[in-house]
Amino acid sequence: MEKKVVFSEKAPAALGPYSQAMQVNGMVYTSGQLGFVPGTADLFPTVEEQTHQVFKNLQAVLEAAGTNLDKVVKTMVFLSDINDFAAVNEVYAQYFTGDFPARSCVEVSRLPKDALVEIEVIAIAE
């Protein structure tokens, strides 16, 4: 089994003792991404803005692993308020077309930094 740490300077650094992503046996497993304003520790104020930034961060991490959103096979979406489901879905649909990845979406009691949304993905490495 080959394991490789994936890091992108275009995405926020990990907030703790974990990697942005790991590449193992042809697959990329990302850590959850939050919607930080680039270059700051501040989150965008709305769930839509946070979701767009989450996808920009995911794109950067996947790019560092030599893959992209088209190769995503599974997403896990964590919401601090399930009432944001429709708004997140609207943004989500802008980043995936055609064969949509499998997905889980759950409401959680709280996210790091009081984020409104966190998303992690599993993708095929190219």
pLDDT digits (tens, 9 = 90+) for 7-38: 999 999 888 899 999 999 999 999 999 999 99
| pLDDT tier, 98 (very low <50, low <70, confident <90, very high otherwise) | confident
The answer on pLDDT for 104 being more than 90 is yes
Domain that holds residue 58: 3-124
Interatomic CA distance for residues 39 and 34, integer angstroms: 13
Rg for the chain, CA atoms, rounded: 14
What is the enclosing helix (H) or strand (E) of 112? none
Indicate if 12 belongs to the active site: no
The answer on pLDDT for 1 being more than 80 is no
With vertex at residue 112, the alpha carbon angle to CA 109 and CA 116, rounded to the nearest 5 degrees, is 65
pLDDT digits (tens, 9 = 90+) for 55-97: 999 999 999 999 999 999 999 999 999 999 999 999 999 999 8
**What CATH number has the domain bearing residue 64?**
3.30.1330.40
Q: What is the number of domains present in the chain?
A: 1
Please report which residue ranges of 12-75 form alpha helices under DSSP H: 47-64
Structural tokens at position 104 = 């889980």
Considering the candidates 105, 111, 122, 125, report the single residue annotated as catalytic. Answer: 105
Instruction: Point out which residues pair with 74 in neighbouring strands.
Output: 102, 122
Indicate the pairing of strand 21-24 with strand 3-6. Answer: antiparallel
